[in-house]
A and B are shown apart, each in its own frame.
Chain A
Amino acid sequence: MQRAISAVTRRLVILIPYGWLLFFFLIPFLIVLRISMSTSAVAMPPYTPVFDWSEGWARIRSALSELSFDNYVWLAGDPLYLNAYLSSLWIALVSTALTLLIAYPMAYGMAKAPTTLRPTLVMLVILPFWTSFLIRVYAWIGILKPEGLFNQFLLSMGVIREPLIILNTNWAIYIGIVYCYLPFMVLPLYSALEKMDHSLTEAALDLGCTPIQAFWRVTFPLSLPGVIAGCLLVFIPAVGEFVIPDLLGGSETLMIGRTLWNEFNGNRDWPVSSAVAVVLLLLLVVPIMLFQTAQARAERAEREGR
């Protein structure tokens, strides 16, 4: 009896995340997918066909037959969309790499800090979240602009003679993304590094590794799960980032968030804009799923190999 109850609770507990995914991911996704297969119209809502469940099954069937993949064909026809995807992926990639470079030493230092100090350090990493994201991005405008704090500082130190043009360039976007997403990289890295058994590094040193070799052969491989988690947490939102490029970047930066906005609000074409969103999602989710299955298979092979 007891066992039966615990089995039921276990099922229930599993149901909660699946229910969450169903309601907040799968159903919205299906709605977007369905709009992406419609045609835009001057109406309310601005697309056809509209499914009206009260009009009976025959009407629904004929509405279903009106759906088509035309919008996806349209996306393939104009290099604009491909270029926007590529440039978004590139910006996200560079930003993720820069974030990793900055976050790793930070997380490493935190993990090596005295135990009593660690909660304070974690707190300091989270602290910026207490201020609105938007205000922090606006603050960077004040720092980066030609007569802003950063240029004033460099000028007064005599490092440069002319103010650097950083604001409204891709560099400002990288800085903005690295700054905003840094905590998402530091925290998983820290949790991976903190759990690590220190004696492993000592063993590597005893067996003749230099400290640098010990880092690359022992510490880094063991922190890989944290690195992967951090990179995904930064890379995925960075691809679709809209606010940071809009405020800090130049007008010539083409990103997919901007393209989506143009389709949705400029052209008032909800269907094409939904198609852009669906392709973006597939672009992100499919590689991650492939990666996960590959990893799971490798793990299983390893286990069976033993």
Chain B
Amino acid sequence: MSVKAALLATLLAAASAGLAQAQERVVNIYNWSDYIDPAILEAFTKETGIKTVYDVYDSNEILENKMLTGGSGYDIVVPTADFMARQIAAGVYQPLDKAKLPNLSNMWDEIMKRAAQYDPGNKYAVPYMWGTDGIGYNVKKVNEILGEGKRPGLEVIFDPAVAAKFKDCGIYVFDSPRDVMGAALHYLGLSPESKSPDDLAKVEALLTATRPNIRKFHSSEYISALANGDICIAMGYSGDMLQARNRAAEANAGVEVDYSIPSQGAQVWIDSMVIPKDAPHVEEAHIFLNYMMRPDVAAKASEYVFYANANKASQAVMSKEVLEDPAVYPDAELFAKLYTVTAWDAKTQRLATRIWTKVITGQ
């Protein structure tokens, strides 16, 4: 009899645990690795009682493949804007319920305006962090070659005569045709949005001329290559360059890395939080988004990842170290020169990929 009672008690306990689990509120977040301060997630759970499940990815492609297949089970994902625009067109995300997001009033109109180019009317996305495409460099080597205190611009990649000076100490360029070809168009004085085959042919000529100076096209290896002092110049995302800067400083092996937003102007990337169409916890996702837009939380997020955020109100409470770093928050003059590019249509994309392959492999 007692055995039976014990069994029954266990069963009841298990059942009630299951019930509690069903009532427990969670939000499943799929974000870039190292992209949020764990303390923010803890504080969020403490304040709202909503648990967070946090998974990470390290490339937009991985996220995109998961989103296009559907049924991912995530409530919040954080794509980069040009990828996001295409995914919105494919019907991957659901529109935000703005009545549940009063903190939208804290957002930075300049960034929202740029984000609206990918997400008309800011219907789907809450911008999280933004940054630039620019030049990460080995400070000592650049001082030797370009002169003391010079900050390299796009010429170290696109002007074959300048790039040749860095050939031997090594140039890496990120393997992202949209970003590099957009920058090349901008460098040539053409619109970075141009889809004209003639303009793309000019880009091909420019890239082919400087190709011999570039050691490798790769989208992540440049971080460690810069930090280890294996190369002098890398063109890539500001976030990666700042990571390389930190790693070099931590290693303390005599390598100093810095990041320069090209004086010619730079492409802005924006990572936004969006809710997949088939998200299981839509209500909780909105609460989370609203929480992330609180000025103190946004400031804390920026202080952790060292990126500029899209929250104007947070700048009042943010540490000066982040706010006054020109590699993170460019000054007004440079800010005015930042541009955005939208995703190519399938036909232009195919042409561009083909040109890119031809430039890189010679085939």
Write the nearest CB–CB distance from A10 to chain B, whole angstroms.
40
A147–B168 Cα distance when bound, in Å, is 13
B109 within 8 A of A: no
Whether the Cβ atoms of A269 and B350 lie closer than 8 Å is yes
Whether the Cβ atoms of A40 and B346 lie closer than 8 Å is yes
Whether the Cβ atoms of A250 and B363 lie closer than 8 Å is no
Given the known A-B contacts A251-B218, A252-B362, are A45 and B70 also in contact in the complex, defined by CB atoms under 8 Å? yes
Selected contact of A253 from candidates B67, B68, B349, B361, CB within 8 Å: B361
Secondary structure dominating the interface of A: loop
Q: Which single residue of chain A is at the shortest CB-CB distance from B345?
A: A42
B90 within 8 A of A: yes
A21 within 8 A of B: no
Whether the Cβ atoms of B361 and A44 lie closer than 8 Å is no
Name which of A12-20, A230-238, A259-267 contacts chain B.
A259-267
Selected contact of A83 from candidates B68, B86, B221, B363, CB within 8 Å: B363
Whether the Cβ atoms of B361 and A252 lie closer than 8 Å is yes
Whether the Cβ atoms of B68 and A262 lie closer than 8 Å is no
Which A residues lie within 8 Å of B89 (CB)?
42
Whether the Cβ atoms of A147 and B230 lie closer than 8 Å is yes
Selected contact of B90 from candidates A44, A84, A269, CB within 8 Å: A44
Write the nearest CB–CB distance from A140 to chain B, whole angstroms.
13
B354 within 8 A of A: yes
Whether the Cβ atoms of A80 and B354 lie closer than 8 Å is yes
B61 within 8 A of A: yes
User: Chain B interface: which size bin?
Assistant: 20 to 34
Write the nearest CB–CB distance from B355 to chain A, whole angstroms.
11
A268–B91 Cα distance when bound, in Å, is 15
Residue from the set B68, B86, B354, B362 with the largest chain A CB neighbour count within 10 Å: B68
Write the nearest CB–CB distance from B61 to chain A, whole angstroms.
4
Write the nearest CB–CB distance from A89 to chain B, whole angstroms.
15
B165 within 8 A of A: no
Q: Which single residue of chain B is at the shortest CB-CB distance from A250?
A: B216
Whether the Cβ atoms of A251 and B217 lie closer than 8 Å is yes
B357 within 8 A of A: yes
Which B residues lie within 8 Å of A225 (CB)?
none
Given the known A-B contacts A145-B230, A251-B218, A252-B360, are A42 and B350 also in contact in the complex, defined by CB atoms under 8 Å? no
Q: Footprint of B on A, CB under 8 Å?
A: 40, 42-46, 78-80, 83-84, 145-147, 168, 246-247, 250-254, 259, 262, 264-269
- A252-B361, A266-B177 known; 10 new pairs, CB 8 Å cut-off, are A42-B90, A43-B91, A44-B90, A45-B69, A46-B68, A147-B230, A253-B361, A259-B357, A262-B353, A268-B64
Can you name 23 A-B pairs with beta carbons within 8 Å? A42-B86, A42-B90, A44-B67, A44-B68, A45-B68, A45-B70, A147-B230, A168-B216, A251-B214, A251-B217, A252-B360, A252-B361, A254-B361, A262-B357, A265-B61, A265-B64, A265-B65, A266-B353, A267-B346, A267-B349, A267-B350, A267-B353, A268-B86
